[in-house]
Chain A
Amino acid sequence: MLRTREKIFCYVVAFAFILFLLAPIVWLLSTSFKGQLDIFADPPRLIATVTLDNYREVLGDRDFMHSFLNSILVSSGTVILSMILALPAAYGLSRLRSKTKVGLLSWVLLVRAAPGMIYVIPYFMAFNELGLMDTKTGLILINTVFTAPLAIWILISFFDGVPAEIEEAAFVDGATRWQTFTRVALPMAAPGIASAAILVFIFSWNEFLFALTMTRFESKTAAVAILNYMGYEGTEWGKIAAAGILILLPVAIFAIGIRKYFVQTSAGGVKG
């Protein structure tokens, strides 16, 4: 369908952009396998002697692994709490009719539109009073403030997809509202629930501002702890590269796993 000249133009655009997109990541990957001397070799090389030293050192770094575990715990905790709050709320709201939806949508948009800093200040002061500073519980709570509205919004459209006739049939058979919810609606919305959960996980894994301000050491997450390798004695690029790869690997795999839903769901209110 395309003329040859147009085809060439398309290929040039696509490959120019993909080079721009992947070059920095490829460089991160290559640096993560380089020894200290090769990193600053002159002239620089893309592939040097491959060594696993950086990974060995990062995996053997107790402080970093502690924060990596924190990331896993905080992200999983946020997923569980968000889902406990969002599932019944989304189900209930999906069965209401459209007037409430305008209000609901305005609320989701408001939370999305508010800059993170506007939340940090009051929660910082409240956490100081409540002794939640530098705790994983506190971090889970504040992450949930952001993820729950998003989860509700995504889940509503999936619950909307559950046909009312099937639910009515369950009612006729004597099921209670709760049974209908757990036995009929939940299984039918399962793909939506899975992608909402993964999205919440990614958000919480990547979250930086709260993890930076609400933690000191005990509950620091990996996305913040990686900065420790930018010390006063110079930046340890080998370790940063290896740690960076370790941090981005889980979320990259997740995103590719739900790629069918990813664009649709993570856009939140953005659809045509």
Chain B
Amino acid sequence: MPTFLALVAITVLPILVTLGISLFYVDLTMPGMTRFAGLENYFELFQDSRFLNSLTVTAKLIFIPVALQIVIGLLLAMVLKEKLPGTGWMRMAFLLPAVIPPAVSGLVWKLFIVPGAGGLSYLGHVIGVDLSLDLLSMPGSALTLVIVTSVWVGTPFVALLMLSALESLGEEQYEAARIDGASWFQAHWHISLPEIRPVILTVAVFRILEALAIFPIIFVLTGGGPAGATEPINYYAYVNGFEYLRVDYAATIIFFFFVVMMGICSPFLINIARRESREEAR
């Protein structure tokens, strides 16, 4: 129990310390110049156009990949559940993107799209289309590439979660619908999916919370560029803290983000915690 309380302390205290830092002026290059700033760092936030841009990028990098992950993941789970001959090994392949270090995933995709040397150029050569484009130099294509990588990393795992949810369902209703003439897709749409709705919602909340864990991918792939097109809020906080050495402002940015995310997600989280502990009690 004492070790447990200590653990709670070292995990919760830093969040409060970050809040504290955001209320001060801190200059790492001049120790002793720290003074209280009140909410001034927060006022600065809303006049900072680069911050406002990073908010837009954040929204795009959270909601587009998560939506794609859930939709594609569900479809794949439905397909894998059929256990068609020759698809068994795919479940194992699906584990790969989930365990590859994110920094390496970023490099994998960076290599794949190198004009001339990448797999994309090779595929283009095979089908006779010139695909040797510098995708990272244009804002739109760079953002698309980050989204594609994020889908690549997250979807297989979502599919496996959905698959285990689908497999825990009874077959009767599904079979009955099939006998009544429902197509494969209709049977899933009307029978299986409503059943696993809580799981879908839970997975979605976690994917949303963890969507910005693609920091290493962005760091490796685009460095936030071009012109901030792929710079989400946690990346901007990193740039402030570790390139401009403005620790206080970085703390302000990330604490603001934390509060917003908790505001959006905590009702769902509380719900999940309640349901989870009810199940434990049974």
Q: Which residues of A contact B (CB under 8 A)?
A: 1-3, 6-7, 9-11, 13-14, 17-18, 20-28, 31, 39-40, 42-46, 85, 88-89, 92-93, 98, 101-102, 105-107, 109-125, 145, 148-149, 152, 160, 202, 205-206, 208-209, 212-213, 223-224, 226-227, 237, 240-241, 244, 247-248, 251-252, 254-256, 259, 262-264, 266-272
Contacts and interface: CB of A to CB of B under 8 A. Distances in A.
A123 B87 CA distance: 46
A270 B206 contact: yes
B161 A42 contact: no
Nearest to B217: A208
B47 interface: no
**Secondary structure dominating the interface of B:** helix
Nearest to B121: A44
Contact of A106 (B80, B102, B118, B273): B273
Contacts of B250: 117, 121
Contacts of A264: 164
Given A118-B18, A244-B104, A3 B117 contact: no
B196 interface: yes
Contact of A240 (B111, B238, B269): B111
Contacts of A92: 1, 4
13 contacts: A14-B76, A20-B152, A24-B109, A40-B117, A42-B116, A98-B277, A106-B270, A118-B258, A121-B17, A206-B99, A237-B111, A255-B95, A266-B98
Interface in B83-121: 84, 87, 90-104, 107-109, 111-112, 114, 116-119, 121
A13 B76 contact: yes
Give the bracket for the number of chain B residues in contact with chain A: 35 or more
A251 B215 CA distance: 20
Contact of B107 (A21, A46, A226): A226
Contacts of B206: 112, 267-270
**Secondary structure dominating the interface of A:** helix
A112 B14 CA distance: 14
Nearest to A27: B119
A20 B161 CA distance: 20
B104 A115 contact: no
Contact of B164 (A18, A110, A263): A263
B7 A85 contact: yes
Given A85-B3, A270-B202, A21 B11 contact: no
B104 A116 contact: no
Interface in B41-63: none
B75 interface: yes
Given A28-B111, A213-B242, A226-B104, 10 more contacts: A21-B96, A27-B118, A89-B3, A106-B269, A115-B234, A116-B215, A117-B241, A149-B7, A224-B103, A262-B95
